[in-house]
Structure 1
Amino acid sequence: MVIKIYYTSVAGSREVKSQQEELMRFVEGKNIAHELIDVSVDERLRDRMRAKAGNPRAVPPQLFNGEKYLGSYDKFSEAVEEGRVMQFLKLA
């Protein structure tokens, strides 16, 4: 499966930008197949991300394994700290 990462190339928040950069470094460093979906190019993509996440206020980055919602950056970061990121990403 390919991990889908909903992100924004126009981040107005340093926190969002930092989170996205850390997430990208991780998946690229681990050679995890991923697809980047930039919600800043079309608000319908942002709306789709929020609908799929079940949160009308969800902000990037949001992670999916195929169409299965995995969680936000916070959930990803928690999984990294606990040494269970591959399970979180549903790759193990």
Structure 2
Amino acid sequence: MPPAEPLSPAFKALSDEDVAHRALQDPDAGTVPDGFWDRLPVAKPEAKEQITLRLDPEVLRHFRSLGKGYQSRINAVLRSYVRAKGGAG
């Protein structure tokens, strides 16, 4: 996934009141009830396992050309494949 675009100076200059007003105008932005986050259980992600993996040079060149985080992108592609095949995520 490419990195997000940097915030514009105009956006960074918005006051908290401006942000709140914009959020109220957004039909997809709902309010989070008080205490919502306090009731959720803590979910700890599984630790990744370090392995040795042989990849075709073409595949490795492609992912490395995308820049920093290429190993995470390879993992994301493999994870989406597993999920598409109905495997455990």
TM tier, smaller? under 0.3
* Relative contact order higher in (CA < 8 Å, ≥ 6 apart): 1
**Higher Cα Rg, which structure:** 2
TM-score, scaled relative to structure 2: 0.23
TM-score, scaled relative to structure 1: 0.22
Q: Name the structure with the higher strand share.
A: 1
